[in-house]
Copies of this chain bind each other. A is one copy, B any other.
Protein backbone atom coordinates (compact mmCIF):
# COMPACT_ATOMS: atom_id res chain seq x y z
CA UNK A 1 0.00 0.00 0.00
CA UNK A 2 1.75 3.12 -1.23
CA UNK A 3 5.22 1.72 -0.74
CA UNK A 4 7.46 4.50 -2.04
CA UNK A 5 10.32 3.87 -4.43
CA UNK A 6 13.59 3.38 -2.64
CA UNK A 7 15.25 6.77 -2.35
CA UNK A 8 18.92 7.68 -2.21
CA UNK A 9 20.87 5.18 -0.16
CA UNK A 10 23.59 6.74 1.94
CA UNK A 11 26.45 4.25 2.36
CA UNK A 12 27.59 4.00 5.95
CA UNK A 13 31.32 4.52 6.31
CA UNK A 14 32.98 1.31 7.41
CA UNK A 15 30.11 -1.05 6.47
CA UNK A 16 30.68 -3.47 3.57
CA UNK A 17 27.97 -5.77 2.26
CA UNK A 18 27.80 -8.75 -0.06
CA UNK A 19 25.24 -11.28 -1.17
CA UNK A 20 25.36 -14.81 -2.52
CA UNK A 21 23.04 -17.54 -3.77
CA UNK A 22 22.89 -20.78 -1.78
CA UNK A 23 19.62 -22.08 -3.26
CA UNK A 24 18.21 -22.38 0.25
CA UNK A 25 14.60 -22.33 -0.87
CA UNK A 26 14.28 -20.70 -4.27
CA UNK A 27 16.99 -21.13 -6.86
CA UNK A 28 18.04 -18.19 -8.97
CA UNK A 29 18.16 -15.56 -6.24
CA UNK A 30 20.65 -14.35 -3.68
CA UNK A 31 19.53 -15.62 -0.28
CA UNK A 32 22.60 -14.93 1.84
CA UNK A 33 23.71 -11.46 2.94
CA UNK A 34 26.97 -10.61 4.67
CA UNK A 35 27.66 -7.38 6.55
CA UNK A 36 31.23 -6.74 7.66
CA UNK A 37 32.25 -3.91 9.98
CA UNK A 38 35.55 -2.39 11.09
CA UNK A 39 37.03 -3.39 14.44
CA UNK A 40 35.69 -1.10 17.13
CA UNK A 41 32.14 -1.06 15.80
CA UNK A 42 29.53 -1.05 18.57
CA UNK A 43 26.38 -3.07 18.22
CA UNK A 44 23.08 -3.48 20.08
CA UNK A 45 20.03 -5.60 19.42
CA UNK A 46 16.56 -6.59 20.51
CA UNK A 47 15.42 -10.14 19.89
CA UNK A 48 12.22 -12.16 19.81
CA UNK A 49 10.74 -13.08 23.18
CA UNK A 50 9.35 -16.33 21.80
CA UNK A 51 9.90 -19.44 23.91
CA UNK A 52 10.48 -21.24 20.61
CA UNK A 53 13.39 -19.01 19.68
CA UNK A 54 15.45 -20.25 16.78
CA UNK A 55 19.01 -21.32 17.67
CA UNK A 56 20.69 -18.52 15.65
CA UNK A 57 18.78 -15.93 17.71
CA UNK A 58 20.32 -17.22 20.92
CA UNK A 59 23.79 -17.21 19.40
CA UNK A 60 23.41 -13.74 17.91
CA UNK A 61 22.04 -12.25 21.10
CA UNK A 62 24.77 -13.77 23.25
CA UNK A 63 27.55 -12.62 20.96
CA UNK A 64 26.18 -9.11 20.47
CA UNK A 65 25.71 -8.68 24.22
CA UNK A 66 29.26 -9.89 24.85
CA UNK A 67 30.56 -7.25 22.42
CA UNK A 68 33.12 -7.65 19.64
CA UNK A 69 30.77 -8.71 16.83
CA UNK A 70 32.09 -7.33 13.53
CA UNK A 71 30.20 -9.40 10.97
CA UNK A 72 26.61 -10.49 10.37
CA UNK A 73 25.62 -13.56 8.39
CA UNK A 74 21.98 -13.49 7.31
CA UNK A 75 19.99 -15.95 5.26
CA UNK A 76 16.43 -16.08 4.00
CA UNK A 77 14.42 -19.14 2.95
CA UNK A 78 15.05 -21.14 6.12
CA UNK A 79 14.58 -19.93 9.69
CA UNK A 80 16.76 -22.62 11.27
CA UNK A 81 14.05 -22.71 13.94
CA UNK A 82 12.85 -25.71 15.96
CA UNK A 83 16.03 -27.44 14.84
CA UNK A 84 17.50 -27.93 18.30
CA UNK A 85 21.18 -28.46 19.03
CA UNK A 86 21.84 -29.56 15.45
CA UNK A 87 20.53 -26.23 14.21
CA UNK A 88 22.72 -24.38 16.67
CA UNK A 89 25.75 -26.36 15.46
CA UNK A 90 24.88 -25.49 11.86
CA UNK A 91 24.71 -21.80 12.69
CA UNK A 92 28.00 -21.88 14.59
CA UNK A 93 29.70 -23.74 11.76
CA UNK A 94 28.60 -21.21 9.17
CA UNK A 95 29.80 -18.35 11.38
CA UNK A 96 33.14 -20.14 11.57
CA UNK A 97 33.27 -20.32 7.76
CA UNK A 98 32.73 -16.57 7.41
CA UNK A 99 35.17 -15.84 10.24
CA UNK A 100 37.95 -17.90 8.71
CA UNK A 101 37.39 -16.41 5.26
CA UNK A 102 37.71 -12.82 6.46
CA UNK A 103 40.19 -13.54 9.23
CA UNK A 104 38.30 -12.88 12.46
CA UNK A 105 37.27 -15.04 15.41
CA UNK A 106 34.07 -17.07 15.04
CA UNK A 107 32.58 -15.31 18.08
CA UNK A 108 32.75 -12.06 16.11
CA UNK A 109 30.07 -13.31 13.69
CA UNK A 110 26.34 -13.11 14.54
CA UNK A 111 23.95 -15.35 12.55
CA UNK A 112 20.38 -14.50 11.48
CA UNK A 113 17.89 -16.67 9.63
CA UNK A 114 14.35 -16.20 8.34
CA UNK A 115 12.03 -18.46 6.40
CA UNK A 116 10.65 -21.96 6.83
CA UNK A 117 10.58 -23.38 10.38
CA UNK A 118 11.77 -26.87 11.22
CA UNK A 119 14.22 -27.66 8.45
CA UNK A 120 18.00 -27.90 8.66
CA UNK A 121 20.07 -25.34 6.78
CA UNK A 122 21.85 -26.54 3.63
CA UNK A 123 25.24 -26.03 5.30
CA UNK A 124 27.32 -27.25 2.39
CA UNK A 125 25.75 -24.96 -0.19
CA UNK A 126 25.80 -22.07 2.26
CA UNK A 127 29.49 -22.65 3.01
CA UNK A 128 30.30 -22.32 -0.67
CA UNK A 129 28.09 -19.26 -0.97
CA UNK A 130 29.66 -17.51 2.03
CA UNK A 131 33.21 -18.15 0.78
CA UNK A 132 32.41 -16.88 -2.70
CA UNK A 133 30.35 -13.99 -1.37
CA UNK A 134 33.16 -12.44 0.63
CA UNK A 135 34.99 -11.34 -2.51
CA UNK A 136 31.99 -9.17 -3.39
CA UNK A 137 31.96 -7.10 -0.17
CA UNK A 138 31.44 -3.43 -1.00
CA UNK A 139 30.13 -0.26 0.58
CA UNK A 140 27.23 0.15 -1.86
CA UNK A 141 25.84 -3.36 -1.49
CA UNK A 142 22.76 -2.25 0.49
CA UNK A 143 20.07 -2.80 -2.12
CA UNK A 144 21.31 -6.25 -3.02
CA UNK A 145 21.44 -7.15 0.68
CA UNK A 146 17.93 -5.80 1.28
CA UNK A 147 16.72 -8.04 -1.55
CA UNK A 148 18.61 -11.10 -0.29
CA UNK A 149 16.89 -11.07 3.10
CA UNK A 150 13.35 -10.96 1.66
CA UNK A 151 10.90 -13.86 2.10
CA UNK A 152 7.26 -13.11 1.24
CA UNK A 153 8.12 -9.42 0.94
CA UNK A 154 7.18 -8.07 -2.45
CA UNK A 155 9.70 -5.23 -2.25
CA UNK A 156 13.04 -4.59 -0.56
CA UNK A 157 12.87 -2.17 2.37
CA UNK A 158 15.74 0.27 2.62
CA UNK A 159 15.77 3.74 4.17
CA UNK A 160 18.48 6.37 4.76
CA UNK A 161 18.83 9.61 6.66
CA UNK A 162 21.79 11.99 6.65
CA UNK A 163 22.41 14.29 9.62
CA UNK A 164 25.23 16.48 10.85
CA UNK A 165 26.72 15.83 14.26
CA UNK A 166 29.53 17.95 15.69
CA UNK A 167 30.41 19.17 12.19
CA UNK A 168 30.62 15.70 10.64
CA UNK A 169 28.19 14.16 8.19
CA UNK A 170 26.62 11.04 9.70
CA UNK A 171 24.81 8.53 7.50
CA UNK A 172 22.12 6.27 8.91
CA UNK A 173 20.93 3.46 6.65
CA UNK A 174 18.75 0.49 7.48
CA UNK A 175 17.11 -2.45 5.79
CA UNK A 176 14.33 -4.72 6.96
CA UNK A 177 12.31 -7.70 5.87
CA UNK A 178 8.90 -8.82 7.00
CA UNK A 179 5.36 -8.94 5.72
CA UNK A 180 3.40 -11.18 8.06
CA UNK A 181 3.64 -12.66 11.54
CA UNK A 182 4.25 -9.08 12.56
CA UNK A 183 3.55 -7.85 16.06
CA UNK A 184 5.20 -6.22 19.01
CA UNK A 185 8.06 -7.87 20.72
CA UNK A 186 9.15 -8.24 17.17
CA UNK A 187 7.85 -10.22 14.26
CA UNK A 188 9.04 -12.38 11.40
CA UNK A 189 11.12 -9.43 10.99
CA UNK A 190 14.77 -8.75 10.62
CA UNK A 191 16.01 -5.18 10.65
CA UNK A 192 19.57 -3.92 10.48
CA UNK A 193 20.24 -0.22 10.93
CA UNK A 194 23.79 1.10 10.72
CA UNK A 195 25.35 4.50 11.26
CA UNK A 196 28.87 5.82 11.11
CA UNK A 197 28.76 7.89 14.27
CA UNK A 198 30.77 6.70 17.27
CA UNK A 199 28.46 5.53 20.06
CA UNK A 200 29.31 3.79 23.32
CA UNK A 201 27.83 0.31 23.80
CA UNK A 202 25.56 1.30 26.69
CA UNK A 203 24.26 4.37 24.90
CA UNK A 204 23.64 2.38 21.70
CA UNK A 205 21.81 -0.28 23.68
CA UNK A 206 19.49 2.29 25.21
CA UNK A 207 18.90 3.91 21.82
CA UNK A 208 18.15 0.52 20.26
CA UNK A 209 15.47 -0.29 22.86
CA UNK A 210 13.90 3.14 22.70
CA UNK A 211 13.75 3.05 18.92
CA UNK A 212 12.31 -0.48 18.80
CA UNK A 213 9.53 0.67 21.13
CA UNK A 214 8.34 3.39 18.77
CA UNK A 215 8.87 1.54 15.49
CA UNK A 216 9.04 -2.23 15.12
CA UNK A 217 7.14 -2.78 18.36
CA UNK A 218 4.25 -0.64 17.12
CA UNK A 219 3.14 -2.61 14.11
CA UNK A 220 0.78 -5.53 13.89
CA UNK A 221 -0.41 -7.42 10.87
CA UNK A 222 -1.79 -10.64 12.27
CA UNK A 223 -0.83 -10.62 15.96
CA UNK A 224 1.61 -13.43 15.30
CA UNK A 225 5.24 -13.15 16.32
CA UNK A 226 8.02 -15.28 15.04
CA UNK A 227 10.82 -17.45 16.32
CA UNK A 228 13.53 -15.40 14.64
CA UNK A 229 12.91 -11.68 14.96
CA UNK A 230 15.77 -9.34 15.54
CA UNK A 231 16.57 -5.69 15.21
CA UNK A 232 20.27 -4.83 15.26
CA UNK A 233 21.71 -1.34 15.48
CA UNK A 234 25.40 -0.80 14.65
CA UNK A 235 27.63 2.27 14.92
CA UNK A 236 30.97 2.15 13.11
CA UNK A 237 32.45 5.43 14.32
CA UNK A 238 34.02 5.89 10.88
CA UNK A 239 32.45 9.31 10.35
CA UNK A 240 34.84 10.75 12.93
CA UNK A 241 32.31 12.10 15.41
CA UNK A 242 33.18 12.37 19.08
CA UNK A 243 32.06 9.36 21.08
CA UNK A 244 28.37 9.70 21.94
CA UNK A 245 27.92 8.33 25.41
CA UNK A 246 24.86 10.04 26.88
CA UNK A 247 21.40 9.51 25.44
CA UNK A 248 20.31 12.89 26.84
CA UNK A 249 23.15 14.66 25.06
CA UNK A 250 22.17 16.99 22.24
CA UNK A 251 24.39 15.38 19.59
CA UNK A 252 23.10 12.01 20.62
CA UNK A 253 19.52 13.26 20.29
CA UNK A 254 20.17 14.14 16.64
CA UNK A 255 21.34 10.60 15.97
CA UNK A 256 18.51 9.12 18.03
CA UNK A 257 15.98 11.02 15.96
CA UNK A 258 17.54 9.92 12.65
CA UNK A 259 17.68 6.28 13.74
CA UNK A 260 14.07 6.47 14.94
CA UNK A 261 12.98 7.91 11.60
CA UNK A 262 14.75 5.18 9.67
CA UNK A 263 13.33 2.46 11.93
CA UNK A 264 9.78 3.87 11.95
CA UNK A 265 9.79 4.23 8.17
CA UNK A 266 11.04 0.66 7.78
CA UNK A 267 8.38 -0.56 10.21
CA UNK A 268 5.68 1.25 8.24
CA UNK A 269 7.05 -0.19 5.00
CA UNK A 270 6.63 -3.66 6.49
CA UNK A 271 2.95 -2.93 7.14
CA UNK A 272 2.54 -1.38 3.68
CA UNK A 273 3.96 -4.60 2.23
CA UNK A 274 1.90 -6.82 4.54
CA UNK A 275 0.66 -10.07 3.12
CA UNK A 276 -2.46 -9.35 1.13
CA UNK A 277 -2.73 -5.79 2.48
CA UNK A 278 -4.87 -3.33 0.57
CA UNK A 279 -5.00 -0.67 3.31
CA UNK A 280 -2.51 1.06 5.61
CA UNK A 281 -4.22 2.13 8.80
CA UNK A 282 -2.97 4.18 11.72
CA UNK A 283 -4.74 3.38 14.99
CA UNK A 284 -4.23 6.27 17.39
CA UNK A 285 -5.57 6.12 20.94
CA UNK A 286 -5.52 9.31 23.01
CA UNK A 287 -6.90 10.41 26.34
CA UNK A 288 -5.94 7.25 28.20
CA UNK A 289 -5.19 7.11 31.90
CA UNK A 290 -2.06 5.03 31.20
CA UNK A 291 0.12 4.37 28.18
CA UNK A 292 -0.48 0.65 28.56
CA UNK A 293 -4.25 0.95 28.34
CA UNK A 294 -3.87 3.05 25.19
CA UNK A 295 -1.67 0.33 23.70
CA UNK A 296 -4.16 -2.36 24.75
CA UNK A 297 -6.97 -0.56 22.97
CA UNK A 298 -4.84 0.20 19.90
CA UNK A 299 -3.72 -3.41 19.54
CA UNK A 300 -7.16 -4.87 20.20
CA UNK A 301 -8.59 -2.70 17.45
CA UNK A 302 -5.64 -3.26 15.10
CA UNK A 303 -5.73 -7.03 15.56
CA UNK A 304 -9.48 -7.64 15.59
CA UNK A 305 -10.28 -9.90 12.66
CA UNK A 306 -13.71 -8.30 12.42
CA UNK A 307 -12.27 -4.79 12.32
CA UNK A 308 -9.71 -5.91 9.74
CA UNK A 309 -12.30 -7.45 7.45
CA UNK A 310 -14.40 -4.27 7.74
CA UNK A 311 -11.32 -2.25 6.74
CA UNK A 312 -10.80 -4.60 3.80
CA UNK A 313 -14.42 -4.00 2.77
CA UNK A 314 -14.10 -0.23 3.22
CA UNK A 315 -17.10 -0.52 5.53
CA UNK A 316 -17.30 2.18 8.26
CA UNK A 317 -18.58 -0.47 10.64
CA UNK A 318 -18.09 1.50 13.84
CA UNK A 319 -19.99 -1.11 15.84
CA UNK A 320 -16.99 -3.39 15.44
CA UNK A 321 -14.72 -0.62 16.69
CA UNK A 322 -16.93 -0.31 19.79
CA UNK A 323 -16.81 -4.09 20.16
CA UNK A 324 -13.00 -4.13 20.01
CA UNK A 325 -12.63 -1.21 22.42
CA UNK A 326 -15.10 -2.92 24.71
CA UNK A 327 -13.07 -6.10 24.96
CA UNK A 328 -9.66 -4.41 25.36
CA UNK A 329 -9.79 -4.85 29.10
CA UNK A 330 -9.66 -1.19 30.10
CA UNK A 331 -10.78 -1.13 33.69
CA UNK A 332 -13.95 0.80 34.45
CA UNK A 333 -14.08 2.39 31.01
CA UNK A 334 -16.96 4.83 30.85
CA UNK A 335 -18.12 4.55 27.25
CA UNK A 336 -19.96 7.84 27.63
CA UNK A 337 -16.52 9.48 27.40
CA UNK A 338 -15.44 7.63 24.25
CA UNK A 339 -15.16 9.28 20.84
CA UNK A 340 -14.16 7.61 17.60
CA UNK A 341 -12.94 9.44 14.51
CA UNK A 342 -12.20 8.18 11.01
CA UNK A 343 -9.67 10.80 9.93
CA UNK A 344 -11.55 14.05 10.60
CA UNK A 345 -15.01 12.48 10.70
CA UNK A 346 -16.45 12.03 14.18
CA UNK A 347 -18.32 8.74 14.13
CA UNK A 348 -19.00 8.04 17.78
CA UNK A 349 -19.31 10.48 20.65
CA UNK A 350 -20.55 9.91 24.18
CA UNK A 351 -20.38 6.21 23.35
CA UNK A 352 -23.12 6.37 20.72
CA UNK A 353 -23.28 7.37 17.08
CA UNK A 354 -22.32 11.03 16.73
CA UNK A 355 -25.23 13.37 15.99
CA UNK A 356 -25.06 14.32 12.33
CA UNK A 357 -22.70 11.49 11.40
CA UNK A 358 -23.51 10.28 7.93
CA UNK A 359 -22.52 6.85 6.72
CA UNK A 360 -21.22 8.28 3.44
CA UNK A 361 -18.70 10.42 5.33
CA UNK A 362 -17.23 7.39 7.05
CA UNK A 363 -17.29 5.42 3.81
CA UNK A 364 -15.43 8.21 2.04
CA UNK A 365 -12.57 8.05 4.57
CA UNK A 366 -12.38 4.27 4.46
CA UNK A 367 -12.37 4.18 0.67
CA UNK A 368 -8.86 5.63 0.77
CA UNK A 369 -5.72 3.47 0.80
CA UNK A 370 -4.63 5.07 4.04
CA UNK A 371 -6.53 6.56 6.92
CA UNK A 372 -6.46 6.97 10.68
CA UNK A 373 -8.78 5.51 13.29
CA UNK A 374 -8.55 7.82 16.29
CA UNK A 375 -10.06 6.76 19.58
CA UNK A 376 -10.45 9.21 22.43
CA UNK A 377 -10.89 7.46 25.75
CA UNK A 378 -11.57 10.62 27.75
CA UNK A 379 -9.73 9.37 30.84
CA UNK A 380 -6.38 11.16 30.85
CA UNK A 381 -3.44 12.46 28.88
CA UNK A 382 -1.71 9.32 27.62
CA UNK A 383 -1.60 8.22 23.98
CA UNK A 384 -0.30 5.42 21.75
CA UNK A 385 -0.17 4.68 18.05
CA UNK A 386 -0.06 1.39 16.14
CA UNK A 387 0.09 0.79 12.39
CA UNK A 388 -1.76 -2.09 10.83
CA UNK A 389 -3.28 -3.47 7.66
CA UNK A 390 -6.50 -5.17 6.62
CA UNK A 391 -7.49 -8.83 6.41
CA UNK A 392 -8.11 -9.74 2.81
CA UNK A 393 -8.73 -12.79 0.67
CA UNK A 394 -5.09 -12.52 -0.35
CA UNK A 395 -3.92 -12.79 3.25
CA UNK A 396 -5.71 -16.12 3.50
CA UNK A 397 -4.45 -17.23 0.10
CA UNK A 398 -0.83 -16.33 0.82
CA UNK A 399 -0.84 -17.99 4.23
CA UNK A 400 -2.79 -21.02 3.16
CA UNK A 401 -0.33 -21.62 0.33
CA UNK A 402 2.97 -20.53 1.83
CA UNK A 403 4.83 -22.82 4.17
CA UNK A 404 6.29 -20.64 6.93
Contacts and interface: CB of A to CB of B under 8 A. Distances in A.
A316 to B, nearest CB: 10
Contacts of A49: 327
A107 interface: no
Contacts of A236: none
Nearest to A306: B224
A49 B327 CA distance: 7
Interface string A234-264: 0000000000000000000000000000000
A223 B326 contact: no
Given A52-B322, A116-B319, A319-B79, A310 B227 contact: no
Interface string A285-322: 00000000000000000011110011011010111101
Copies of this protein, total: 2
Contacts of A401: 313
B310 A222 contact: no
B399 A84 contact: no
Contacts of A53: 326
A220 B89 CA distance: 40
Interface stretch (A68-76, A122-130, A153-161, A389-397): A389-397
A399 B84 CA distance: 40
The bracket for how many chain A residues form the interface is 35 or more
Contacts of A305: 222-224, 305, 391, 395, 399
A23 interface: no
Given A181-B306, A309-B396, A396-B391, A50 B118 contact: no
Given A50-B323, A319-B404, 13 more contacts: A49-B327, A51-B326, A51-B328, A82-B318, A82-B319, A82-B351, A84-B350, A180-B306, A181-B306, A222-B305, A227-B326, A309-B400, A317-B403
